[in-house]
Amino acid sequence: MAIATIGYEGKTQAQMIDQLKTAGVELVVDVRAVAASRRPGFSKTILGASLEAEGIGYEHLRGLGTPKAGRDAARSGRIAEMRAIFEAHLAEPQAVTQLARAQELAGQKKIALLCFEARACDCHRAIVAERLCEALDQPIEDL
């Protein structure tokens, strides 16, 4: 079973949900530090309710979000800097605990790691997916 990743940049909520359903995703694991969005339908409460209405679970793992310095680096196109900041963040206790939780969830059902960036290679969710794939020997599927 693949570990999926998805970014909602440039998508409507309906488009994203259709992609998730087509890919057979059972649970969205939101890995944003701040699960709020100026884009309609992507803030935590409304997104979770909309996913649940479509038969897809939702869990927010805030500890797997990028610290502010990492988000700033990513917005400025400094992806290597963002990766270094996030790799260091993964040693923090909350991140360790929540990475273990994500691993547990990925071992039970098909998950999709959710963040904003359209391209996973520009986003910290790729690092989370890599860690999960190493632990579970599952491929990554970027939606």
Nearest to 143 by CA among 51, 22, 27, 55: 22
With tokens 């579970």, the residue in question is 136
State which residues form the domain around 29.
3-142
Instruction: Please tell me the pTM assigned to this model.
Output: 0.93
pLDDT in tens, 32-76: 998 888 888 999 999 999 999 999 999 999 999 999 999 999 889
What is the domain count for the chain? 1
Torsion of Cα atoms, 68 then 74 then 76 then 79, to 10°: 130
